[in-house]
A and B are shown apart, each in its own frame.
Chain A
Amino acid sequence: MNFEREHEETREQRAMERTQERVEFQDAAIESAIENFRRSVRAWSEAELSHARAVQTAIRHRSWRLAMGWALGCALVMGGASGVLLERRHQAEQARIKTLQDAEHRRQVAAQRVKDADEELAKVNSDVARDVPSAMEPLAQLMGEDESQ
């Protein structure tokens, strides 16, 4: 009995709501447009649900593309970073070799200078020795003369 009364009340309430809405709609055109809109949404939703497998495949393809994109991006970043690191290492190695070469060059120049100075000194010694007569030369001449007599 209670159930029947509740049911009746609900039906009345729904009827009242519908009447109120009809007043709000004012004309059939809006009601018809909303009805078409409802049918359109339902048809679209049913179509999408029946094509769920295709949608899932598309999502999988998209996920695959996304993963590929990420992998390629990571590879590019890694490549770029390692390139920069290699370049820096190469530059450091070049700088080290240049420093060593400069040091070697300086050492060679210094050695050459020492050698040149030694040679110059030896030459001077030799020239001095040639120009100045020997202190024993007159005596040696005298001794030579005595032997001839």
Chain B
Amino acid sequence: MAAGTMLDTVSMAAADEHAAQEFSTVVEAHRPQIFRFLLASTRDPDLAETLTQDCFLKAHRNWASFRGESSAMTWLMRIAINLQKDHWRNRRMQFWRQTRTNAVDVDEASDWLPSGESSAEQRLLAKERVAQVWRAVKGLSERQRTVFLLRHVEELELGEIARVTGLSEGTVKAHLSRALARVRTELGGKR
């Protein structure tokens, strides 16, 4: 009887260790993508880092309940989107607190352009275009921005975006179309 209990304990410890290793692999594989999405959404590196950590903390707590019905990425992205929503909701509720954020200005954000342009002029033009897209993204509603970033930065398929956001594919398409219209207007110099 005692031997049986001991075997149970050993097998449970082994299972725990296996789960921990599995989770560690998931963190390593998906942390950059989650951080990138949150950074693009908030334009605040500190906030993105905090929300990424919160996301993996929440995922770790609920790792046992993750049944693998969706991919780990979809599950993690859903947690990240919900955390981001909660964060903005809390900020709106705590309006008496300081309203200043550490969000980077859109012009500063557009400085991060990899040197792929041939001339300085082209590079400057590309930077200006990126700043315009940032401005358009900034002006989008929370849902439109999320859909736009998932499509054009994370390059998720429409079905995946629908699963991550909990919206229907039709709604995702509609949000994406509106977001693109906004980007087009911004790039077209507000005709």
Q: Are B152 and A49 in contact (CB under 8 A)?
A: no
- Name A's B-contacting residues (CB within 8 A): 13-14, 17, 24-26, 29-30, 32-34, 36-49, 52, 55, 58-59
Q: List 7 A-B contacts (CB under 8 A).
A: A33-B132, A33-B187, A37-B152, A52-B49, A55-B45, A58-B46, A59-B46
Question: Which interface residue of A14, A26, A39, A41 has the most chain B CB atoms within 10 A?
Answer: A41
User: Among the listed A26, A33, A52, which residue makes an inter-chain contact with B133, where contact means beta carbons less than 8 Å apart?
Assistant: A33
Chain B contact residues, CB within 8 Å of chain A: 32, 35-36, 39-40, 45-46, 48-49, 109-110, 112-114, 116, 126, 129-130, 132-134, 137, 152-153, 155, 157-158, 177, 180, 183-184, 187
Q: Give Cα distance in the complex from A58 to B45, angstroms.
A: 11
Q: Do residues A45 and B36 form an inter-chain contact, with CB atoms below 8 A?
A: yes
Chain B contact residues: helix, strand, loop or mixed: helix
* A36-B49 CB under 8 A given contacts A24-B177, A49-B32: no
Docked-complex contact B187 and A36, CB < 8 angstroms: no
Residues on the A chain within 8 Å of B137, using CB: 37
Contact for A24 among B32, B46, B180, CB less than 8 A: B180
Q: In the assembled complex, which residues on chain B have CB atoms less than 8 Å from the CB atom of A32?
A: 126, 129
Task: Tell me if B46 and A30 are in contact (CB < 8 A).
Answer: no
Residues of chain A within 8 A (CB-CB) of B114 are: 39-40, 43
A48 touching B45 in the complex, CB below 8 Å, given contacts A36-B130, A37-B133: yes
B114 to chain A, nearest CB (A): 5
| CA A24 to CA B152, docked complex, whole Å | 14
Contact B129 A33 (CB under 8 A): yes
Residue in chain A with minimal CB distance to B48: A48
User: Across the interface, do A37 and B45 meet the contact criterion of CB distance under 8 Å?
Assistant: no
The complex places the Cα of A4 from the Cα of B139 at a distance, in Å, of 42
- Closest residue of chain B to A37, judged by CB? B133
Complex alpha-carbon distance, A42 and B155, angstroms: 12
Shortest Cβ distance from residue B157 to the other chain A in the assembled complex, whole angstroms: 7
Question: How far is A45 from B134 in the complex, measured between Cα atoms in Å?
Answer: 15
| A30 contacts across to B, CB distance below 8 A | 180, 183-184, 187
From known contacts A30-B184, A55-B46, infer whether A45 and B35 are also in contact, taking CB-CB under 8 Å.
yes
Name the residue in A37, A52, A58 with the highest tally of chain B Cβ atoms < 10 Å from its Cβ: A37
Contact A44 B112 (CB under 8 A): yes
Kindly list chain A residues whose C-beta atoms are within 8 Å of the C-beta of B45: 48, 55
Q: How far is the CB of A19 from chain B (nearest CB, A)?
A: 13
Contacts of A40 on B, CB cut-off 8 Å? 109-110, 112-114, 130
A29-B187 contact, Cβ under 8 Å, with A38-B152, A45-B32, A49-B35: yes
